[in-house]
Amino acid sequence: MSQTTPDSTKKYNIWIWILSIAIPIAVAVLFTVRIPGVDRLGFLPPIYATTNGITAILLVLAVIQIKKGNRKTHEILMKTCIGLSALFLVMYVIYHMTSDSTSYGGEGILRYVYFFILITHILLSITIIPFVLITYVRAISGQFSKHKKIARITFPLWLYVAVTGVIVYIMISPYY
C-alpha cells in the first residue's frame, strides 16, 4: 500500500463526496424508472438479503482477522464486503425497477418495530457510504492510525445496516 500525497488525498475526498451524494440520488431516481418488458424479478430479494447476511458475517470475520494481526486476510475480507455491498445495491435497484414496493402487512407492535428498523436501516445505509469510502481510502493510502479511528465508527454502522437488511427482508417476505 502506498502513501498518498496531499493532492491524491484531495482527489480521493472529491470522489468520496461525489459518490456519497450521487449514489443515494441515483437510487432515488431509479426507483421511479420501470424497465419496459421485464417481468417482476421476485427471485432477487432473498438473494440480496443473503448478500447482506454474508456481508455481516464477513465484517465480523474481518475485525477478528485484524485483531489477530492478519492484515492481508482483513484486507481481502473488507474488499469482499465492499463488493458485496455494491452487488446488493445493483440487485436492489434492479428489483425495484421491475416491481412495485411491497407493503408491510404486520400489525400491532411488530408494525412499529418493522418501521423503526426499516427507517434506521435506510438512513444509515445512506450515511454509511462516506464512512466506508473514507475508511477504505485511509487503509489503501497507508494512513492506518486514521483508518483505525474511523473504522471504529464505520464497523458498527455497516454491521447494523447489513444485519437490519436481513431482518427487514425476513419481516416483509410473507407479504411479497
Neighbours of 10 (CB within 10 A): 11
pLDDT tens figures, 100-125:
888 999 999 999 999 999 999 999 99
- Looking at the chain, the whole-number percentage of residues with pLDDT higher than 90 is 86
Q: Residue 18: which pLDDT band, with cuts at 50, 70 and 90?
A: very high
Residue showing cell 437488511: 165
138 burial via Cβ count (<10 Å: 0-12, 13-18, 19+): buried
Q: Residue 8: which pLDDT band, with cuts at 50, 70 and 90?
A: low
pLDDT higher than 50, residue 57: yes
- Domains in the chain, ordered, with CATH? 42-175 (1.20.120.80)
CA–CA dist 131, 127 (Å, integer): 7
Mean pLDDT, residues 126-146 = 96
Positions of E strands within the chain? none
pLDDT higher than 90, residue 155: yes
pLDDT higher than 90, residue 79: yes
CA–CA dist 95, 145 (Å, integer): 39
CA distances from 105 to 108, 124, 173, 175 (A): 10, 24, 10, 6
